[in-house]
Amino acid sequence: QKEVEQNSGPLSVPEGAIASLNCTYSDRGSQSFFWYRQYSGKSPELIMSIYSNGDKEDGRFTAQLNKASQYVSLLIRDSQPSDSATYLCAVNPNRDDKIIFGKGTRLHILP
């Protein structure tokens, strides 16, 4: 089992709809969780971090964490064409300061 798993996509979502991106992780003791956006040819850009169970909202973005299910998700409301990118889930396992990334989900917002 990979440490951080994401569906590679592509995930196609109509403009204005909600995009839902999912991630599972294997280390039950993980404490810190991050979502990065990566445009083609660019480096990853941090968009959300979440540390406790529940929802965390920032503008059109909502991160959701369920430690019991070892599941973290990112919702993007009112999706815009500029949201088309690869979204990387990253997890900080409890055992050390290593930050492990999933392969990323390609999101395509349809105009």
Partner 1 sequence: EAGVVQSPRYKIIEKKQPVAFWCNPISGHNTLYWYRQNLGQGPELLIRYENEEAVDDSQLPKDRFSAERLKGVDSTLKIQPAELGDSAVYLCASRQGPNTGELFFGEGSRLTVL
Tell the smallest beta-carbon distance from residue 17 to partner 1 (Å): 25
For residue 17, which amino acid is it? A
Minimum CB distance to partner 1 smaller for 44 or for 84: 44
**In terms of CB distance, is 61 or 101 closer to partner 1?**
101
Query: How near is the Cβ of 84 to partner 1 at its closest, in Å?
Result: 16
CB of 13 or CB of 104, closer to partner 1: 104
The strand pair at 11-14 and 105-110 is best described as: parallel
C-alpha–C-alpha distance, residues 35 and 88, integer Å? 6
Q: Which one, 71 or 101, has the nearer CB to partner 1?
A: 101
Structure-token pair, residue 8: 């590679």
Q: Which of 86, 84, 88, 82 is nearest to 100 (CA)?
A: 88
Q: How far is the CB of 16 from partner 1 (least distance, A)?
A: 28
Cβ(62)–Cβ(68) under 8 Å?
A: no
Q: Enumerate binding residues for partner 1 (CB under 8 A).
A: 4, 8, 31-32, 34, 42-46, 49, 88, 90, 92, 96-104
Work out the widest C-alpha separation in the chain, in whole angstroms.
43
